[in-house]
Structure 1
Amino acid sequence: MDTITADQHNDLDLIKKMEDEHLRLQRQVRMVQADRLHRSMGVHPQFKRQDQQLRNLKKEYINLIKDLKIASSGAHKTNNKKMKCDLNNALLLRTKSEVECEEGVTMMKQIDKLLRRNSKEMLRLRKLANTTEGQLDERRCQSEHRLVSTENQLETAMLRFNAVQFENKKIREEIEHMLQDR
């Protein structure tokens, strides 16, 4: 209901403007005709200009009447309604696209911030990994040194143990030999 009254209001405004223009042109024609009547002496260059103006004004008048008829015709109104509907749809699509675009830009900015944070975190972890890797190499060397040292101690202890075992074996053999002698 509102669109019909708005269309009628727009059409009425258009018709009123065209009628105002029509009245202005009629006044201008009357003024030119009055000037012509007042100066009815011979052919004067100013009259030629006024005649030309009159012809132009008559053409404009005829064109305005045609435009008024076209504006008030039914086909023009249906085309106007269709064009308004298409324009509203286009405006809605533009608004929707604009909102989606702004959301996309916002999301891209957020993703960009996250990527920067991740790259900073990754650089920090790489530095930490390099430091840890150096510490691991140092610990590995220390562990290998301890292992070699422990193996050496074990070997020394085994040699002592074997020596003690050998001693014990000799002592047992002597004890057995003494027992047999007795």
Structure 2
Amino acid sequence: MSEFKIAVIVGSLRRDSFNRKLATALASLAPKEFAFKQLEIGDLPLYNQDDDAQQAASVLRLKSEISASQGVVFVTAEYNRSIPGVLKNAIDHASRPYGKSAWAGKPAGVIGVSVGAIGTSLAQQHLRNILAYLDMPTLGQPEAFIQAKEGLFDANGGLGADSVGFVQKWVDAYTAWVRQHA
């Protein structure tokens, strides 16, 4: 059994999502005592504060999986210079009702890939602002604003040979961050 369970939230629902491929690659680069698990967020209802007293089963499942983890990695796409709505919806659900946030104290990592030249830099900055409010100690360096271009992934969907070293450095920094804060 792994010593550290890491909840992975992918901010993209697209079947062939670059960010889902990246999330899978992160897990393959993690030390053996780390288990990265991608959590389902596509089945969550839209957040409505009226539902806080009786949260949906999918929300309770998400909160339970986050609570059982020793850290959270957010692998986010960038939509219109910010985080995708599905990601914000998941964040809002798991932070409510007020005072019962599943996020508090969980060491966070933020990474993402996009076709744009600046990767997901603006989405990551917005997400970091949210995570600060949620009381999640968030890895600051190295930042990883990855551009989806030829060679990032190989024919099987794994990281291309030229990308492994850069992503490995991020995984190593994040796992050290979790050891320090978990």
Q: Give the TM interval when normalised to the shorter protein.
A: under 0.3
| Higher helix content, 1 or 2 | 1
Q: Is the radius of gyration larger for structure 1 or structure 2?
A: 1
Please, what TM-score do these two structures have when normalized by structure 2? 0.20
| Higher strand content, 1 or 2 | 2
Please, what TM-score do these two structures have when normalized by structure 1? 0.20
More contact order relative to length (CA 8 Å, sep ≥ 6)? 2
